[in-house]
Structure formats: C-alpha cells, structure tokens
Amino acid sequence: MATSISRSRALASALRPAKPSVQVRNDQAIRCLSNTARQYVAMPKESPNLRKAPRDHIGTLKAPIVNPADKYQSKSDNMHRYGAWVMGCLPKYVQQFSVWKDELTIYISPSGVYPVFSFLKYNTAAEFTQVSTVTAADYPTREKRFEIVYNLLSVRHNSRIRVKTYADEASPVPSITGLFDGANWYEREVYDLYGVFFAGHPDLRRIMTDYGFEGHPLRKDFPLTGYTEIRYDEEKKRIVTEPLELTQAFRNFEGGSSAWEPVGAGQDRTPESFKLPTPKPEEKKEEEKK
C-alpha cells in the first residue's frame, strides 16, 4: 500500500510542469490559469491623451453660397405662367394670383367660387379633382374679415393649387359640395368654428362643438373663457350648463399682435415682392323692385 502511494506521488510530480525561474519585471503581470504554472503577460503602455494631441490645421472654409430661392426657380416660373393662364381664362372671377416657391395661390370673388372650381376640376389642363382641405382665417380689421382657403390636388398632373376668397358675417359663400363630395364636412367645420355660411350646403350644422354651443371658437373676438361653463351638479346628479360672469380682457387686433406679444401697432416685415394689394370687395347688386 505504501509502495503504491509513493509511486502515485512520484508520477504526479513528474507530470506537474516545473516552475520557471523568471524574474518579474515592472511591465509584466502574473495571470493565474487553471494550472499552477505562472504565465507572464506583457501589459500595454499607457495610451496617449487624445485631448492633448495636436490637431491638423483647418484652413478657411470655402462653402459655396447657395440662394434657397434658386432651388424653386424653374418651378416658380412655371407656376407664374400657369397662374397667368388661369387668370386669362377667367378674368371675370380671378382677381390676382401669387407664387411662393412652388405654391400657386389664386384670389377669387365669392361669386366666382362655383365657376372657378368647375373650371379647375373639368378642364384638361387642370383636373384638380380632389379637395384636400377647406379652412378659414379671421382678420377682424378687414372689411371682409374672413378668408376662406381651399387646397386642391390634381392626381393627373401631380400638382396642387390654393384658392382664396373672402366673406363676412352676413355674406354667404357658395358651397362646392356639388362638385366635391369631400368638401361637405370641411365646410361644416368652417361654419362651426368661424360662422361662415355656405349657401347651398345640404346639411350645414355644427360638427366640432357640442350641442347648443354658443358662438364660434376660432373667431378672434371670441372670449377666451367662452360664454358658458359645463359642470356636474351634485344636487341634480347631472351635467349642467351655466353662463359665465367673467369679464373679458381687452384685446388689440391691430398690426398682427397676439396674446404673447406686447400691444402695439407692430411692424410688417413682409418683403415688398410678396406684398399684394387688397382686392376690392364686390359691389352689392341692387335688388330688383317687385
């Protein structure tokens, strides 16, 4: 038994690798592996600090001067020619047109809404068969305070056109639902939020606000707090509507001032090339005496 143990120890000592007699330097480290032998791995030197490294000298930048207007020069010229052509075809209704970049806008009178839109839809050089949006803007200082904006799309020619007309609280605008079915809800929205009446609309009623709502919220003279308050009455166990008795703060609509700007006349920074004369309103026809 003692002989077998001594033999196994001798075999184990023979198989065990000898310890290397190597001195450890400062730039070396000992790494312990699965066996008992020492292995020396050279550690990399400290990398230089890139923040303090010298940088290559960069000369003066020579970037070409690019005018953004040159990008739309060719499209703008085509839009000017097309606007002049539309104005020449309908001189009775088209009062003026403007081009900004690649956007064409024509200004028409309210009486020319149906003839102009019929021309833009059925003429082979136009074919604006889809109405994208119908919206409005309120300018209280103008004689015709509401500006109705139509955006049309021509799938055939892959182009768009914007048509603008004007109205006030009393004068209606002809409806285009007979030409574009998609304008039905758009006109209802303009009527609900601005109070513009569209003559000939098949179902002109509110679409955005609640039942029994008073006023038109997107008008500039609409009170910021509204006219009524909706709350839950604990005694009646239902929602009730009560009138508000809050005073309305004075707001100045001159010079394009807003709620976030100081009250004042303001300054018009529109370039002279983009300023257009205000179209004269149509003369009201005298009613024939019966």
What residues does 151 pair with on adjacent strands?
Answer: 133, 162
Long-range CB contacts (within 8 A, 24+) of 62-69: 69/101
Amino acid at the residue 63: A
Taking residues 44-64, what's their average pLDDT? 74
Name the residue with higher pLDDT: 167 or 45: 167
Mean pLDDT of 271-288: 68
More confident residue, 60 or 267: 60
Do 164 and 105 contact (CB within 8 A), yes or no?
A: yes
| pLDDT tens digits, one per residue of 200-253 | 999 999 999 988 888 899 999 888 777 788 888 888 889 888 887 766 665 666
132-160: pLDDT as tens digits: 999 999 999 889 999 999 999 999 999 99
Instruction: Give the Cα separation of 200 and 222 in Å (integer).
Output: 27
SS3 71: helix
The DSSP bridge partners found for residue 108 are: 94
pTM of the model: 0.63
**pLDDT on residue 28:** 52
Q: Which CATH architecture has domain 69-208?
A: 2-Layer Sandwich (3.30)
**What's the confidence (pLDDT) of residue 270?**
64
Provide the pLDDT for residue 200.
95
pLDDT, tens digit, for every residue of 58-110?
777 777 777 777 888 888 889 999 999 999 999 999 999 999 888 999 999 99
Mean pLDDT, the chain, whole residue set: 80
The reported pLDDT for the residue numbered 104 is: 95
| Apex 178 CA angle, 196 and 173, nearest 5 | 25
Q: What are the phi and psi torsion angles at 254 (to 5°)?
A: -80, 145
